[in-house]
Structure 1
Amino acid sequence: MGSTLQRPKNSKGQPYSEDSRAWVRLPALFLRLTWETLSSNYVNVLLVFVPVGIVLGALEMNPTAVFIVNFLAIVPLAALLSFATEELSVKLGQTIGGLMNATFGNAVELIVSIVALTKGEIRIVQSSMLGSILSNILLVLGCCFIASGARRLESTFNATVASTMSSLMAVAATSLIIPATLYASLLRSDADAEKNILILSRGTAIILLILYCLYLYFQLRSHTKYFDTEAQEDGGDGEGSGEQKEPEVLGPVAASVCLVIVTLLVAVCAEYLVGSIDSIVQTSGISKTFIGLILLPIVGNAAEHVTACVVAYKDKMDLAIGVAIGSSMQIALFVTPFLVILGWIIGQEMTLHFQGFETVVFFLSILVVNYLIQDGKSNYLEGAMCLGTYIIIAIAFYVYPDDAGDIGSMVSNFFGR
């Protein structure tokens, strides 16, 4: 958008951003890059909420207003993070670029969760992590299937890549089921259940991080041929490609500066957002679980949602699957274990022991998605199934109170004991 505008020129016919005089060139270059960055996405009009949200939070105004305004402010900041990361990846190549996307792809969720963790809001952290996974594998994937199915009878994608990702998600689901069932087993034991769960969670977190590193090596080094179709569909096969990648807007330095600035703004907005949650819960009656599991992930993943749907509409299903399931896998195998280790370092007892109902919902969601993608084909009906499942889960968590019983009492009540 911004690059199509006529650039002002000096007396020699050169754009001011290319002027030989540094005192002219640098400000002009800064203004041009700023404009092209801001005009990269229509959602950036919401950036007006960023200063408003910070001011409302700093002045300790109405908590509801602070929550809503900062909620809206994080949407364009997430889009800018995604844009800057993609620009930085252009120069760094496939391997480091993939690592950058893995690191910054879920930056908003990570920042919000770190802020909540430092405040001792373990429930917000856990529900936000689980909600990010569910929104990606059900909401985003469902929208991708529908977007692609709206133009064609059936879409195909690399079943090997999809099954590898879904298998890792099954491992992640197992890592949550084991602590929940262990806790239920220890309820009537003399052993210290909380201490044992903490030890199990920290050990499991280390193993999951190792598995994630192995997956990165698998994807970027040892088995790159499985992921080549994604690069080819994205027009990255070099000369003669009919559909080239979008031209680079920001250089490495400008993209890095943008990442730092946007990350700081996200951290500030997240600070005020998390700080207002308690008041929102008390005044609105909405549970912390619903806020963390449904509302926050939609904001944090807004940019990824749009990207995945657009590429799916263009029938680039491998890329869409990579965004949807790949992002969920990063949350499950990297972000959540990282937060457990971070909590260990800062003295917060963050564990992988989620509530029993949440664990069951997560497992069933993984089961549904595995069935839908195992044949390497999709259509709009399968997308509707994913969306329907997500809406049912959202309604369930809307009526799910924060003080609900854990899996031990749930199993006892289920079997009538």
Structure 2
Amino acid sequence: MKKYGFYSVMVAIFALSAISHYGGWNVMWQFALSALAILFVAGFLGKATESVAHYAGQRLGGFLNATFGNAAELIIAIFLVKEGLFDMVKASLTGAIIGNLLLVLGLSVLLGGLKYKQQHFNIQIAGYNATLMIMAVIGLFVPAVFVKAEHFSVEKDHLLSLSIAAILIVSYLLWLIFSMITHRSLLSDGEAAADHGETPPWSRGVSVLFLVLATIMVALVSEWLVGTLHTFTSRFGLSELFVGAFVIAIIGNAAEHSAAVMMAMKNKIGAAVEIAIGSSLQIALFVAPVLILVSTLFGQTMDILFTPIELTAIAVAVFIAKSISKDGTTNWYEGVLLLMVYIILGIAFYLV
């Protein structure tokens, strides 16, 4: 009965958000209802991906969760790119990366660790994830240094951005081939695909159908939310950096938040790590480069130059996440450390 209550509330909030948007309600009401709606829809998305993960196993399930969870972030960002709000796009990407590495992983490790003294995941996956995270930092750091130091022209800036975007996308696609096909057995989480000891809420076909439906609902609500952001930031005197890095990122990553924490509390820390770290890698190596290419299709190329503040935040998040995940084991105190770093960055971004 409870689950039907959740879906009833979700549909009601979604309908109210649609009415407020198309009915021309007060913008603050539109923002509040859209933000609330995307949280409920993201929860639905997380539940659908968890059901799919039951049939696919922890690694593939975690990848699917990260991918569909990032659908909200990607869709929101595409609408921001279309509006030319490039600074907010980069801030939201920064927020998504540090949010997954610090908030999502931190909550998962903390709550999972409170229930289980020590949790384990594949140490080889941890090593590859660490290397990929460092590459992501390099891919974002190099253009910022060279363009500023050498005073590149706009044409050279765009050429460098498009070139690095293409390289990062190819690197990510090759990683998927390596981890999911050629070396799948090496990186296996060691459990049968469907042997989770649980009964999924839906069949395989219904799970996939709900996954697609939830993604479409996220796309609609994302468009409504983006249309209210300018008024919201002006009303409360917030910087685009803070709104993009924390408000949009937290809302857009709601699916990962719920799913990763649920997995960790069921002692499936491998799936939780795959969702959190895998999602950050997907943002840095795939979503950000794709947005560079999409912006070109809209007629105005967005460069890949992140600010020193954004690069610092990403580098800090990668450093501590790498340090904590490198041994393939986690405990609740490591989760606390990740959350403390997230709070430190949050206060610093708020004061910008």
**TM over 0.5, yes or no?**
yes
Say which of 121, 133, 157 aligns to 1:197.
157
SS class of match (2:180): helix
CA RMSD of aligned residues (A): 2.6
Is the contact made by 1:372 and 1:378 (CA closer than 8 Å) also made in structure 2? Answer: yes
User: Does residue 156 of structure 1 match 2:116?
Assistant: no
1:13-412 matches, cutoff 5 A? 39=4, 42=6, 45-87=9-51, 100-101=64-65, 103-187=67-151, 191-192=152-153, 194-229=154-189, 232=191, 236=192, 243-247=196-200, 249-252=202-205, 254-255=206-207, 257-400=209-352
CA shift, 1:82, in A, is: 3.3
Residue 111 of structure 2 aligns with an amino acid whose one-letter code is A
SS class of match (1:392): helix
Bigger Rg over Cα: 1
CA distance in 1, matches of 2:47, 2:237: 36
CA distance in 1, matches of 2:32, 2:70: 21
Is the contact made by 2:144 and 2:305 (CA closer than 8 Å) also made in structure 1? Answer: yes
Residue 143 of structure 1 aligns with an amino acid whose one-letter code is L
CA distance in 1, matches of 2:178, 2:171: 10
CA shift, 1:257, in A, is: 4.8
Aligned length in residues: 352
Residue 76 of structure 2 aligns with an amino acid whose one-letter code is V
CA shift, 1:358, in A, is: 0.7
Residue 57 of structure 1 aligns with an amino acid whose one-letter code is H
SS class of match (1:150): helix
Segments of structure 2 that go 5 or more residues without pairing to the other structure are none
- Counterparts in 2 of 1:304 and 1:200: CA distance versus 1, 3 Å: same
Is the contact made by 2:58 and 2:193 (CA closer than 8 Å) also made in structure 1? Answer: no
TM-score (norm 2): 0.90
Is the contact made by 1:44 and 1:76 (CA closer than 8 Å) also made in structure 2? Answer: no
CA distance in 2, matches of 1:121, 1:173: 23
Segments of structure 1 that go 5 or more residues without pairing to the other structure are 3-37, 401-417
Please, which moves more after superposition, 284-293 or 310-319? Answer: 310-319
Residue 161 of structure 2 aligns with an amino acid whose one-letter code is S
SS class of match (2:234): helix
CA distance in 2, matches of 1:287, 1:372: 31
CA distance in 2, matches of 1:259, 1:307: 13
Residue 340 of structure 2 aligns with an amino acid whose one-letter code is G
CA shift, 1:228, in A, is: 2.0
Structure with higher RCO (Cα < 8 A, 6+ apart): 2
Residue 200 of structure 1 aligns with an amino acid whose one-letter code is L
- Counterparts in 2 of 1:293 and 1:43: CA distance versus 1, 3 Å: farther
